[in-house]
Amino acid sequence: MKIVKLGRVQYQPTLEAMQAFTAARQAHTADELWICEHPPTFTEGISSRSQHLLATVDIPIVRTDRGGQITYHGPGQVVAYPLVDLRRSGYFVKEYVFRIEEALIRSLGVWGVTGHRVRGAPGIYVRPEDPGAHSRLTPSSAGAAPDFSGLGKIAALGIKVSRHCTYHGVALNVGMDLAPFELINPCGYAGLRTVDLSTIGVTIAWEEAAAQLAARLQSALSP
C-alpha cells in the first residue's frame, strides 16, 4: 500500500479526488493510503439527520456518501483514507472495519493509551480519567443502545465501498480545538464526549501521530 501525504487540504476536493480514484481504478491499480488534515469542516453521512446539528454554525457543512452521521474535522486531527480493493485483499467489509480499529488501538498503545471498541458504535473510545486502564468494558447485550459511561471518543470511522473498493476512512484526534464537537451530537449520539490525545495527557506532534497511524494501517490492511 502506497502512503500519500497530502498535508492540510480542503475537504471537498479531497472527497472528489477519492471518488475519481475509485471510479478509475482497475484490477491492477495499487492500493493507497492518503494521510491528511482538514481545515474546520462538518461532514454528514448518508443517514445523517438534521437534529444532530445543535446550533447555527459558520463552519462549512459537507454532505458526503459515507456511512454514519455528522462529525467534525479540523486542524490537529489525523485523517487517514485507505483506498483498498477488498476483493483483492481477501476480506469483507466487517473485517476491514475491524482491521482499521485494530490499527487505531495499536497506535494508541504506543503512547500508553488503551483503546476500546463499543458494540454498535464504530470508532475507538478511551477512558479519559484513566486512559491507560486495561480492564474490559462491561459488554452490552445485543440490540441494546451503546453504553458510553466513563468513555470519550478519540477516533471516528466512516467508510464507503464502491465496486468492492473503499474510500473515506478514519480520523484520530491528536491536539485540536474540541469546541465544535459541542455543536453536534457526534456520530449521532447525544451527550457523547469527544476527546483528543492532549486531553488525556499525551502531548505528541501531529506528524508523529500521523506516521504511527499510517504504519499500523499499512500493516493491518495487508492481504
Residues assigned a catalytic role = 187
Q: Please, what is the Cα angle at 181 between 142 and 193, to 5 degrees?
A: 45
Q: Which three cell numbers stand for residue 69?
A: 452521521
**CB environment 169-180: b (16+ within 10 A), e (fewer):** bbbbbbbbebeb
Can you say whether residue 119 is alpha, beta or left, with left for phi > 0 and alpha for psi between -120 and 50 degrees?
beta
> What does the angle CA 121 – CA 102 – CA 158 come to, to the nearest 5 degrees?
45
- C-alpha 54/C-alpha 22 separation (Å) is 34
Q: Cα–chain-centroid distance for residue 95?
A: 16
Sheet holding 61-63, edge to edge: 61-63, 41-44, 71-73
| AA identity, residue 105 | I
80 close to 107: Cβ distance less than 8 angstroms: no
Question: Could you tell me if residue 98 is left (phi over 0), alpha (psi between -120 and 50 degrees) or otherwise beta?
Answer: alpha
